[in-house]
Structure 1
Amino acid sequence: MPRLQCPRCDRPLDRCLCALIPRLSSRTRILILQHPSETRHALNTARFAALGLLNATLKVGEVFEDLPTLLTQPGYAAHLLFPGETALSLAQVAQHTTAQPMLLVVPDGTWRKARKLLHCNPLLGSLPRVTLPAGKPSRYRLRKAPAADAVSTLEAIVNALDLLEAPQRFDALLKPFDALIDGQIDAMGEQTYQRNHLGHD
């Protein structure tokens, strides 16, 4: 018999994380475009961002027919959080904030799947790009990342909001994320975690 799932956080009912998910306001609007493969991932961090932020939307798909409407939210300037030759560091952008808040579009998936989202939705390529400053290590201890500062979607959103809306902090969004990681490590056992996820730098 399949385990009962929480309809909100999509975790097994006996491991529901809803009590740890905050409800935070932000001036910045977050639009998460999630590749369908991520919905089946045990560590679906983007869902926590969508649940924890009042001003966030999560859309799942490869081709988003309603993208023109999603990107033209009155009062917001749309930017794509994705590296590129013309991308500006969010640290720089935060120092030159204007009266108009940002609509931050965040692709969610592996790098390959994220690039596919951009390919399937050419309108994303027309947006000005912004990136996170390098150097902040990830708390995603279960993922073999290409670099120490490669972060999960949730961490990227938290880091972006911390920069854009300082001194306000959004660390509370990471509480269910940390609990999820700890639960996964407990389930696999410390020895398995040490063998498979440590010592591979």
Structure 2
Amino acid sequence: MSRLQCPRCTRPTERCLCALIPCLPSRTRVLILQHPSEVRHALNTARLAALGLSNAQLLVGEVFEALPALLQQPGYRACLLFPGEQVQPLMPYDKSCSELPLLLVVPDGTWRKARKLLHVNPQLANLPRVALPEGLSSRYRLRKAPMPGALSTLEAIVAALNTIEAPTCFDALLKPFEALIEGQIEAMGAQTYQRNHAQSDTAL
């Protein structure tokens, strides 16, 4: 028999994260495009980001027919948080001028699935690309990062907003993420975690 799930955070009811999820306003609008393969992932961090930000939207799919209209929302300038040629570093808003806030588009999936989203939605490939600051490391202690600086979707969004909207801090978004990781470590047992993950944890 399957366990009851919280309809909001989709975690088992006895491990519901809703009490830890904030509701943070942001000048930046965040549009998360989630590949369907991520929906049932144990660490669905994109959902946590969408729940914790009042100015965020999460769409699930491969081809997004509404994307052209979403990218042209009045009052925003769209950019894609994804590596590539001519990528620009994220910079804090210039408070001395009236520049439009960003519509930050964030693909959510493995690197292969995220690239597929760009391929089947050509509007994404045409967006200016932005990158996170260098030297960041993930708090995801249950999985070795595929490359230096690789973060979960939630961590990437937090790092981006902390950069763009400094000195405003969005670290409160990470509280349910950290609780989720602690819960999984507890479920697997200390010995199993130490044997399989502790070495990579120290490396971070």
TM-score scaled by structure 1?
A: 0.95
Gaps of at least 5 residues in structure 1 are: none
Shift of 1:194: 1.6
Shift of 1:73: 0.8
Task: Name the % identity.
Answer: 72
* Counterpart residue type for residue 94 of structure 1: P
Corresponding residue for residue 92 of structure 2? 94
Counterparts of 1:34 and 1:94, CA distance in 2: 26
Question: Is 1:20 matched up with 2:17?
Answer: no
Counterparts of 1:145 and 1:137, CA distance in 2: 9
Shift of 1:24: 0.3
SS in 2 for 1:94: coil
CA offsets 1:104-160 (integer angstroms, 9 cap, x no match): 000000101100100110110110000101101110111121234211000000000
Q: How does 1:91-130 map onto structure 2 within 5 Å?
A: 93-94=91-92, 96=94, 99-130=99-130
Counterparts of 1:109 and 1:198, CA distance in 2: 25
RMSD: 1.3
Q: How does 1:5-84 map onto structure 2 within 5 Å?
A: 5-84=5-84
SS in 2 for 1:106: strand
CA offsets 1:43-83 (integer angstroms, 9 cap, x no match): 00000100000000000000001100111110000000000
Shift of 1:96: 5.0
Shift of 1:95: 6.1
Q: How many equivalent pairs are there?
A: 199
Counterparts of 1:6 and 1:152, CA distance in 2: 22
2:138/2:145 contact within 8 Å kept: no
Extract structure 1 runs of 4+ deviating beyond 3 A: 95-98
* Counterpart residue type for residue 130 of structure 1: V
1:138/1:148 contact within 8 Å kept: no
Identify which range, 132-141 or 7-16, moves more after superposition: 132-141
* Counterpart residue type for residue 92 of structure 2: A
Counterparts of 1:197 and 1:131, CA distance in 2: 28
TM-score scaled by structure 2?
A: 0.94
